[in-house]
Chains A and B, each alone.
Chain A
Amino acid sequence: KNQVEQSPQSLIILEGKNCTLQCNYTVSPFSNLRWYKQDTGRGPVSLTIMTFSENTKSNGRYTATLDADTKQSSLHITASQLSDSASYICVVRETSGGSYIPTFGRGTSLIVHP
């Protein structure tokens, strides 16, 4: 069964510090991996997408990496801000008869303290 495992489950950091979130997956055949940010009580919003051939992609203070050989991805947040407090969800999409069904991780809850 396809699985997406995220770590840590929760993380507390001080404003201005950096942090890295991890995502390991077993989804196959792999199509793409996307990181979402979900504020409390809201729907998730896409931060970045990684395809098989991409190793690193940045979106402002967010940098995602992908190692398709080891099936691992990370999301690095630089110079954290209070507004970064949210749940970060890793979503891996497989190809299944052209349906591209996504598998969601449980998310990492990030709290940024002043």
Chain B
Amino acid sequence: DGGITQSPKYLFRKEGQNVTLSCEQNLNHDAMYWYRQDPGQGLRLIYYSQIVNDFQKGDIAEGYSVSREKKESFPLTVTSAQKNPTAFYLCASSYPRSMNTEAFFGQGTRLTVV
């Protein structure tokens, strides 16, 4: 089945540690996105990538890093520099240059700092 998969569903991190969230898609989409969602808040864009080996900062990129070595994969690393990392993280993919393209979302990863 085609889709976008995030793992793990729940993740616990100690303060000061880096942690990597996985996002894989088999939809042949060129564009992939990472969003952060906090309670009562809308989705905020962390990073996005329109093509392999290229990515751009979103609105809240500080404390995060990404890579796009393969079309199918767009992992997000939450570094120790991110001061408030506890949140729900959503990955999405789409065709970037199609005007009415739908963004398909993964099921999310809930990260908790303990």
Contact = CB atoms under 8 A, between A and B. Distances in A.
Interface of A: 4, 9, 31-32, 34, 41-46, 49, 51, 89, 91, 93, 95, 98-102, 104-107
A102 B92 CA distance: 12
Contacts of A107: 42
Contacts of A46: 102-103
Given A41-B108, A41-B110, A42-B108, A100 B43 contact: no
A48 B42 CA distance: 19
Describe B's contact surface by its main secondary structure: loop
A40 to B, nearest CB: 10
Interface stretch (B62-70, B71-79, B93-101): B93-101
A96 B107 CA distance: 28
16 contacts: A9-B40, A31-B99, A41-B108, A42-B107, A46-B102, A49-B100, A51-B99, A89-B43, A99-B50, A99-B96, A100-B97, A100-B98, A100-B101, A101-B45, A104-B44, A106-B40
Interface range on chain B (Cβ under 8 Å from partner): 20 to 34
A43 B99 contact: no
A102 B107 contact: no
A104 B58 CA distance: 13
Nearest to B92: A43
Contact of A43 (B40, B42, B90, B102): B90
B102 A34 contact: yes
